[in-house]
Amino acid sequence: MRKIVYFIFLVSFNVFSQTPPPQGISHRGTVYRSNGQIVSNANVTIKVEILDYTTNPFLGTPIFTETFSPIHTNVYGQYSINIGNSTPANNVLFSQINWGNNTNKYLNILIDPDGGTNFTISGGNQLLSVPYALFSQTSQNTNTAIRVYNTISELRTKVGSPGEIVYIKGHSNYGDGGQGNFIWRDLLATDNKFPDNDGTIVRPAGVATGGWFRLIDGRINIRYFGVIGFDIQDGERIQKAIDFAAKNAENSNENGAYYTNKTYAGSVVYIPTGNYLIKNPLILKSGVSIEGESTATTILTASNDQKNGNMIEMDSGRILGVNISNLTLTGGVKYDENNTKNAIYLKAKPGGTNNDGGLWNATFKNIRINQFNGSGIILEGGGGANYNYKLPNQDLIFENVNIARQTDASACLLIQGQQGQMTFINCGFDGRYVGFDNPNATSMTMSKYFNVVIESNAHVQSSVVKFITCTFQYSEYGAFIKFGENITFDNCWFEMLDRAVGIVQSNTVPPLPSRGINIINSRFANASGFGSYYNKVTTANVIGGIPTGSCIYTEGAQVNVQGNYVAVTDIYNENNLFIRNYSVDSQINASNNSFQIPQLGMTYGIDNNIINSTANAINAGGYRFVTVNSSALQINEIKSVLSAGETVTIRSNGNYVKFDTSKNILLTKASPVSLGYGETATFIKVDGTFVNGGVTYREFWQLISINKVN
């Protein structure tokens, strides 16, 4: 069996030691076999290669090779070696490596877990940062003493030689987080891809053929750009870090050749502990990740110089691979209906060679959003009146994202237009409440309208959106869907809501239904007319003096409601229901739900659809029980979207309904069968071949029971 070995890579340098230059690299790893088994307490052979490459790292030439055997792993499969301290295989000493020849260095690790010479490349890493002492030995710069400057401004006045390393003590002041090493790299006079960004690229004035590039091993710290916290320039400087990371993420092809990124840095922007003011929107760009320290310590605060707009937006075109984590976004303002600033507004805009756009393959994790009087997250896709299907937001994951809205006109989450393949895991969507935390309060106020809204126009709908173990609280509606498809709520918690989930059709002519909506395995606690608190909450729905709350509210929707549990705190409000349907076009499939007390399972309008026949046929849609409204009617065809094995019961609401077998109906007794007023017949759908009157039906309806009044 082929041996595949994985490893954990760690390289460390003694960069600022005043002792002789270090002639080695420490490396630690863990050895696994292809089946995932740790190679513990065993002797293995390790081969190390350092390669030179200028274009493609996989075509590089080994300039240094060293073999370690035997190397003994510990009980956890871990090992440790010092590269450069033994006799190399190709007689090139580690100290003879030319670190300053303007080529990239790549380190390969090859391992035979059985201690032989049957090596497998287990992985490799670009050496993004090299100690200045090694550069000083091999660089074209004959001055081996590293130059040290105080700030970036001072560095900008200096011109270096190729491969020269310098050190600055801080961005603007000593020890402000912007300290670090820079290397001078030659550039073509026509190369305009690397302008001075006051953080990681520094270009002396009047020098078109070179500049200082910060040596970065890992994440791009916003401190490199002079971000100090709670300063009006914080947002502008963070954007420079994002722009630099986006440049690093580019994978371009210039003149048919692989493009080598001269910045030698990653695409992760790191925001350390602090509170940072954001005046103008931060623009997300393709391939960039933004990581904070934690939701408790890394905070972005809207400066609110303007009362509208957004804290975070995204660039035009197709935006891929964005990852945002460990942040708190706060509007920093009190309740104000006139302040409509949103936290995150991700609108798909056309751009690029394909003139398409949208956010694709992105993640948002460990994020808190509060104190915005606008919405928390807005996802706006295309598909308007011009039928633009090239602007979807899709393949997105939101995990542990908690949003609290402040105003009735706002939403925690607003999804509009063409959206697809979105998953929300362990997220929270809270409205604003007053009085609920006071057990002696005689009145309470909950947010009006919606915590989560999914709505589409008449052309392109949002589809394949899933909420897993999410919480919806303190509002008139927990979630509201208009013309959505394949929307699922699984194992969610709904509490203190007038209507937990509302699902309706579009308001177009003709109306377009919401389809494939699934509400499963969830818990509803005081989530119908605010349950036990209905007489205290001022925002409850009332029609004709009667509360009309419900856990699930539908108009023109096809919904599966299964495996849920409904409970209240103490008393039951008999005017509120589990499911309330106001449309004959809805199709509700409710089963296997359970209730704290039986009354909580009451429904209205979910299974008794009154229909008329057309051309001796009835269209039962997805209903399992329908009432035929006619004084004298003969039926020879049943139309339904139910699957084979499911049944439909038909009730007569007129003088009689007569069934015959001239089309897709099979009776178990002589034809025809008649129903009088109030009588029912039940049919089961069969997916076998049925030939009747020379016509072949792939599905037919067989009568299985009749319920006669007399």
User: CA angle 542-547-552, nearest 5°?
Assistant: 105
Provide the pLDDT confidence category of residue 177 given band limits of 50, 70 and 90: very high
Task: State the CATH architecture for 25-128.
Answer: Sandwich (2.60)
The predicted model gives 412-435 an average pLDDT of: 92
Give the per-residue pLDDT at 346.
Answer: 97
Reported as a single tens digit per residue, the pLDDT across 192-236 is 778 999 999 999 998 988 999 999 878 999 999 999 999 999 999
If one compares 53 and 232, the residue with the highest pLDDT of the two is 232
**Residue 205, class by beta-carbon neighbours within 10 Å (0-12 exposed, 13-18 middle, 19+ buried)?**
exposed
Provide the pLDDT confidence category of residue 241 given band limits of 50, 70 and 90: very high
Provide the pLDDT confidence category of residue 8 given band limits of 50, 70 and 90: very low
**Whether pLDDT at 60 is above 70:** no
Q: What is each CA distance from 25 to 113, 372, 636, in whole angstroms? A: 22, 50, 85
Q: What is each CA distance from 147 to 54, 140, 186, 207, in whole angstroms? A: 27, 15, 18, 19
Contact 591, 620 (CB under 8 A): no
**Whether pLDDT at 379 is above 60:** yes
Provide the pLDDT confidence category of residue 105 given band limits of 50, 70 and 90: confident
First-residue to last-residue Cα distance in the chain: 77
Q: How many CB atoms lie within 10 A of CB 504?
A: 22
Give the per-residue pLDDT at 291.
Answer: 98
The predicted model gives 265-276 an average pLDDT of: 91
Q: Do the domains at 25-128 and 609-707 have one common CATH topology?
A: no
Q: Read out DSSP for 367-413?
A: EEEES-SS-SEEEE----TT---S--EEEEEEEEEEEE--STT--SE
Contact 678, 627 (CB under 8 A): no
Give the per-residue pLDDT at 252.
Answer: 39
Q: What is each CA distance from 298 to 176, 243, 328, 406, in whole angstroms? A: 17, 20, 6, 22
The predicted model gives 344-356 an average pLDDT of: 91
If one compares 378 and 136, the residue with the highest pLDDT of the two is 378
Dig out the tokens for 191 from the structure.
């190369």
Contact 448, 405 (CB under 8 A): no
- Partner residues linked to 500 by β-bridges: none
Distance CA 323, CA 17 (A): 36
Provide the pLDDT confidence category of residue 31 given band limits of 50, 70 and 90: confident
Distance CA 285, CA 249 (A): 9
- Compute the mean pLDDT over every residue in the chain, rounded to the nearest whole number: 84
Contact 684, 702 (CB under 8 A): yes
Distance CA 142, CA 144 (A): 6
Contact 461, 485 (CB under 8 A): yes
Provide the pLDDT confidence category of residue 21 given band limits of 50, 70 and 90: very low
Provide the pLDDT confidence category of residue 9 given band limits of 50, 70 and 90: very low
- CATH 2.60.120 for the 609-707 domain, yes or no: yes
Alpha carbon 588 to its chain centroid, in Å, reads 30
Listed residue (321, 404, 401) closest to 366, CA to CA: 401
Distance CA 626, CA 622 (A): 10
**Whether pLDDT at 181 is above 70:** yes
Provide the pLDDT confidence category of residue 432 given band limits of 50, 70 and 90: confident
Alpha carbon 294 to its chain centroid, in Å, reads 18
* Backbone region of residue 355 per phi and psi (left: phi > 0; alpha: psi in -120 to 50; beta: other values): left
Give the per-residue pLDDT at 146.
Answer: 81
Q: Read out DSSP for 150-174?
A: SSHHHHTT----TT-EEEES-SSST
Lowest model confidence (mean pLDDT) among 129-133, 222-226, 242-246, 279-283: 129-133
Provide the pLDDT confidence category of residue 542 given band limits of 50, 70 and 90: low
% of the chain at pLDDT higher than 90? 48
Dig out the tokens for 74 from the structure.
């510990």
The predicted model gives 509-529 an average pLDDT of: 93
Torsion angle of C-alpha atoms 425, 431, 437, 438, degrees rounded to 10:
-160
List the chain domain ranges: 25-128, 139-214, 427-606, 609-707
**Whether pLDDT at 562 is above 80:** yes
Contact 405, 333 (CB under 8 A): no
**Whether pLDDT at 3 is above 80:** no
**Whether pLDDT at 11 is above 80:** no
Listed residue (654, 709, 630, 645) closest to 683, CA to CA: 645
Q: What is each CA distance from 34 to 44, 209, 282, in whole angstroms? A: 15, 49, 43
The predicted model gives 272-283 an average pLDDT of: 96
Reported as a single tens digit per residue, the pLDDT across 438-485 is 666 666 777 888 999 999 866 788 999 999 999 999 999 999 999 999
% of the chain at pLDDT higher than 70? 81
**Whether pLDDT at 189 is above 50:** yes
Contact 540, 530 (CB under 8 A): yes
If one compares 397 and 125, the residue with the highest pLDDT of the two is 397
Beta-sheet strand order (sheet of 647-652): 609-611, 625-628, 647-652, 680-686, 700-707, 665-666
Give the per-residue pLDDT at 340.
Answer: 84
Give the per-residue pLDDT at 575.
Answer: 62
Dig out the tokens for 551 from the structure.
């856990």
The predicted model gives 332-356 an average pLDDT of: 84
Give the per-residue pLDDT at 655.
Answer: 74
Distance CA 593, CA 574 (A): 18
Q: Which amino acid, one-letter code, is at 167?
A: Y
Distance CA 155, CA 482 (A): 58
If one compares 414 and 90, the residue with the highest pLDDT of the two is 414
Distance CA 653, CA 609 (A): 11
Q: Which amino acid, one-letter code, is at 669?
A: K
Q: How many CB atoms lie within 10 A of CB 551?
A: 29
Name the helix (H) or strand (E) containing 329: strand 323-330
Dig out the tokens for 194 from the structure.
């690397």
Give the per-residue pLDDT at 464.
Answer: 96
Give the per-residue pLDDT at 258.
Answer: 35
Give the per-residue pLDDT at 137.
Answer: 47
Distance CA 212, CA 222 (A): 18
Give the per-residue pLDDT at 434.
Answer: 74
Provide the pLDDT confidence category of residue 96 given band limits of 50, 70 and 90: confident
Distance CA 308, CA 411 (A): 15
Distance CA 273, CA 181 (A): 23
DSSP state of 685: E
The predicted model gives 154-181 an average pLDDT of: 94
Provide the pLDDT confidence category of residue 571 given band limits of 50, 70 and 90: low
Q: What is the pTM for the complete model shown?
A: 0.76
Lowest model confidence (mean pLDDT) among 267-281, 582-596, 661-675: 661-675
**389: Cβ–Cβ under 8 A, 6 or more apart, which residues?**
382, 383, 418, 460
**Whether pLDDT at 636 is above 70:** yes
HSE, CB side, 13 Å, CA atoms: give it for residue 589.
Answer: 18
Q: How many CB atoms lie within 10 A of CB 195?
A: 11
Residue in the structure block whose two tokens are 């009332």: 542
Lowest model confidence (mean pLDDT) among 23-27, 414-418, 683-687: 23-27
Torsion angle of C-alpha atoms 21, 8, 271, 269, degrees rounded to 10:
90
